[in-house]
């Protein structure tokens, strides 16, 4: 049964499991038979692969997630593609390391592509995993043919309030499990998000290694400041598959990422878990664009019914819109939320964090 959830009225840390991502060690542990690749420093990087084909889909989870978050996609796309999902270092079955930086994870992704001979790769990253995918695409342009960001890059022009950021990170350092799990439960889902998904993600967050999670967060913030410029440097198509749990700055995409396609889903921050069938259809459409099937010139936007933005959110320049810039036809499905006894306001995360970063 789906419970009704209260959505925080301020932008929250879109910490993706992804919250997704960062939490190192929060894991839905895959079977011990998962094969491993030695990272450039010898750290074992676990992965699961299936399917075959000339094009590979390499799935990168978010903060505190693991490769099992992509099980529904590996299975669905393996008849037509080679599919690979990795555990980032410190997550799932992969080994940990003291170097808690995005750069170290990007090197691991490059190593995976090298060892598995993924020569035509579409990188699919969720939340913080999308940042790692973007940096990996820039670092290995010869191997990458496209980039898919899942509930990521939502406002690439917004600025980070460093004071708010430090206060939020400080609260995580002081009481990681309570602050992080409260933020996830209250801020990253919508009324229709399945309870089983909510509880799974919250449990992963509560099992996370605080040092790894906070360390990655402190490092990834530097990349958020340069997302617009980094995306503009890409020479491959970009697909955004985003929820409406926080606003999407469509105009910023048009200014900085002319070769993009956007799809909107009426889910919370984890569309691949919350509605895998719908997510897979939209991902499939994005892959067709990337691989040149019915390729449209310039940018385009595909809209589905999406949740009403939080009260007070900026919508004029961030509503889903069609290629002509008309957003008047978009239907928003209101999500009624009931205050429940014991509901607690989680620590507010900086606007830039909630707009699609971690």
What percent of the chain lies above the pLDDT cut of 90?
A: 61
Residue 244 pLDDT class (50, 70, 90 cuts): confident
Residue 132: closest CA among 95, 107, 115: 107
Contacts of 278 (CB under 8 A, 6+ apart): 265, 267, 271, 304
CA distances (Å), 88 to each of 38, 56, 81, 175, 328, in order?
12, 18, 22, 24, 41
Q: Grade residue 353 by pLDDT with cuts at 50, 70 and 90.
A: low
- Is 117 buried (19+), middle (13-18) or exposed (0-12) by CB count in 10 A? exposed
Dump pLDDT digits (tens) for 137-172.
Answer: 999 999 999 999 999 999 999 988 888 999 999 999
pLDDT at 320: 45
Domains and CATH numbers, the chain: 36-354 (3.40.50.1820)
Q: What is the pLDDT of residue 40?
A: 85
Highest mean pLDDT among 35-44, 112-121, 336-345: 112-121
3-class secondary structure per residue, the chain:
CCCCCCCCCCCCCCCECCECECCECCCCCCCCCCCEEECCCCCEEEEEEECCCCCEEEEECCECCCHHHHHHHHHHHCCCCEEEEECCCCCCCCCCCCCCCHHHHHHHHHHHHHHCCCCCEEEEEECHHHHHHHHHHHHCCCCEEEEEEECCCCCCCCCCCHHHHHHHHHHHHHCHHHHHHHHHHHHCCCCCCCHHHHHHHHHHHHCCEHHHHHHHHHHHHHHHCCHHHHHHHCCCCEEEEEECCCCCCHHHHHHHCCCEEEEEECCCCCHHHHCHHHHHHHHHHHHHHHCCCCCCCCCEEECCCEECCCCCCCCCCCCCCCCCCCCCCCCEECCCCCCCCCCCCCCCCCHHHHCCCC
Query: Which is nearest to 136 in space by CA: 50, 45, 42, 60?
Result: 60
The tens digit of pLDDT for each residue in 77-117 reads 999 999 999 999 989 888 888 888 999 999 999 999 999 99
Asked if pLDDT for residue 200 goes beyond 80, the answer is yes
Model confidence at 269: pLDDT above 90? yes
Ranges 8-17, 78-87, 118-127, 159-168: which has the least confidence: 8-17
pLDDT band, very low/low/confident/very high, at 307 (cuts 50, 70, 90): very low
**CB within 8 Å of 350: residues ≥ 6 apart:** 11, 13, 160, 161, 164, 165, 168
In the predicted model, is pLDDT for residue 173 greater than 90?
Answer: yes
Measure the CA–CA gap between 73 and 229, rounded to whole angstroms: 30
Question: Are the C-beta atoms of 88 and 24 separated by less than 8 Å?
Answer: yes
């Amino acid at each position: 049964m789906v419970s009704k959830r209260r959505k925080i009225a301020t932008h929250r840390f879109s910490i993706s499991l992804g919250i997704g991502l960062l939490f190192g060690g929060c894991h839905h542990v895959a079977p011990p038979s998962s094969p491993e690749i030695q990272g450039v420093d010898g750290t074992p990087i676990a992965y699961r692969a299936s399917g075959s084909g000339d094009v590979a889909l390499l799935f990168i989870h978010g903060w505190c997630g693991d490769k099992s978050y992509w099980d529904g996609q590996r299975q669905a796309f393996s008849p037509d593609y080679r599919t690979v999902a990795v555990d980032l270092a410190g997550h799932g079955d992969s080994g940990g390391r003291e170097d808690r930086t995005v750069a170290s994870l990007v090197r691991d992704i490059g190593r995976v592509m090298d060892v598995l001979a993924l020569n035509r790769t579409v990188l699919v990253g969720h939340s913080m995993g999308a940042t790692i995918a973007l940096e990996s695409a820039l670092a290995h342009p010869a191997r990458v043919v496209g980039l898919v960001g899942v509930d990521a890059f939502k406002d690439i022009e917004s600025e980070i309030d460093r004071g708010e950021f430090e206060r939020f990170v400080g609260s995580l350092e002081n009481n990681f499990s309570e602050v992080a799990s409260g933020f996830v439960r209250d801020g990253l889902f919508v009324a229709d998000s399945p309870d089983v998904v909510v509880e799974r993600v919250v449990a992963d967050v509560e099992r996370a290694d605080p040092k790894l999670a906070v360390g990655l967060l402190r490092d990834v913030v530097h990349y958020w400041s340069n997302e617009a410029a980094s995306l503009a440097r890409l020479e491959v198509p970009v697909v955004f598959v985003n929820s409406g749990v926080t606003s999407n700055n469509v105009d910023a995409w048009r200014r900085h990422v002319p070769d993009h396609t956007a799809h909107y889903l009426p889910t919370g921050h984890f569309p691949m878990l919350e509605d895998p069938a719908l997510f897979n259809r939209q991902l499939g459409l994005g892959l067709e664009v990337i691989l040149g099937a019915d390729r449209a010139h310039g940018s385009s936007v595909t809209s589905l019914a999406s949740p009403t933005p939080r009260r007070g959110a900026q919508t004029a320049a961030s509503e889903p819109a069609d290629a002509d810039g008309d957003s008047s036809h978009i239907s928003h499905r209101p999500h009624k939320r009931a205050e429940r006894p014991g509901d607690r306001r989680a620590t507010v995360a900086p606007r830039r964090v909630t707009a699609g970063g971690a």
